[in-house]
Amino acid sequence: MTNTAYISAGSNLGDRIENIQRGAGALTRSGDVDIRARAGYYSTAPMDYADQPWFVNTAFAITTRLSPDMLLLHLKKAEQVMGRKTGGIRFGPRILDFDIIFYNDLIIDTRKLVIPHPRMHRRGFVLHPLSDICPDFVHPVLGMTVNTLLSGLDESSGECVPLDENEVITKTAYCGCL
């Protein structure tokens, strides 16, 4: 069975856009993940730990035959391939961060994995990109669409500025993925 998942991606170290693109390439290389759509790129203020560089964030719509747990392992492996280290400051600087936001319309709450992502509805850096690719997706717990959640954000959700795609393309080497 093919499943649809929505993945949030972010980076605030080095060439942030290239990190995300190379990470996306690492995700698809095995053939276990197919990226169907990518949101725009957004420059976003850090949250929870402010003393760090701004992030670049986006989101991907993917299809996969991997279970949610196996997809999580696959995402963590791609982060490691890109040089992400474990430990460090919670919500601190990172070369690459992938999170499963939605997986079909499943609700999962285990020690290792919570889907939908438990903080996504309060974070502009997640909702702005998601609204590009799945504005009408209904959060299976809250019963609201991504666009409805986005319209309900306040200033505490963090500043989120869209990046010009033409500028992004000319400044970044294309990795062969979305």
Q: What is the pLDDT of residue 176?
A: 40
Average pLDDT, the chain: 90
Whether residue 48 is contained in a domain is answered as yes
Whether residue 125 is contained in a domain is answered as yes
Domains contained in the chain, number: 1
Residue 94 appears among annotated catalytic residues: yes
Residues 15-19 have a mean pLDDT of: 96
Give the type of residue at 107: I
Whether residue 126 is contained in a domain is answered as yes
Whether residue 106 is contained in a domain is answered as yes
Q: Which residues contact 41 (CB under 8 A, 6 or more apart)?
A: 17, 20, 56, 57, 58, 162, 163, 165, 168
Whether residue 178 is contained in a domain is answered as no
How many residues are present in the chain? Answer: 178
Q: Which of 38, 84, 123, 132 is catalytic?
A: 84
More confident call, 157 vs 139:
139
Whether residue 176 is contained in a domain is answered as no
Tokens of 52: 């760090």
Q: Which domain holds residue 148?
A: 3-171
| pTM for the structure as a whole | 0.91
Residue 122 appears among annotated catalytic residues: no
Whether residue 161 is contained in a domain is answered as yes
DSSP-based three-state secondary structure for 162: strand
Which of the 8 DSSP states describes residue 145?
A: B
Residue 65 appears among annotated catalytic residues: no
Whether residue 119 is contained in a domain is answered as yes
CATH code at position 18 = 3.30.70.560
Residue 154 appears among annotated catalytic residues: no
Omega of the bond leading into 116 within 30 degrees of 0 (cis): yes
Token pair 């990226």 in the structure block, residue: 35
Is the pLDDT score of 146 beyond 60? yes
pLDDT band at 85 (very low <50, low <70, confident <90, very high): confident
Q: Which of 22, 97, 123, 132 is catalytic?
A: 97
pLDDT band at 157 (very low <50, low <70, confident <90, very high): confident
Share of the chain above pLDDT 90, in %: 75
Q: Which residues contact 32 (CB under 8 A, 6 or more apart)?
A: 64, 65, 66, 70, 74
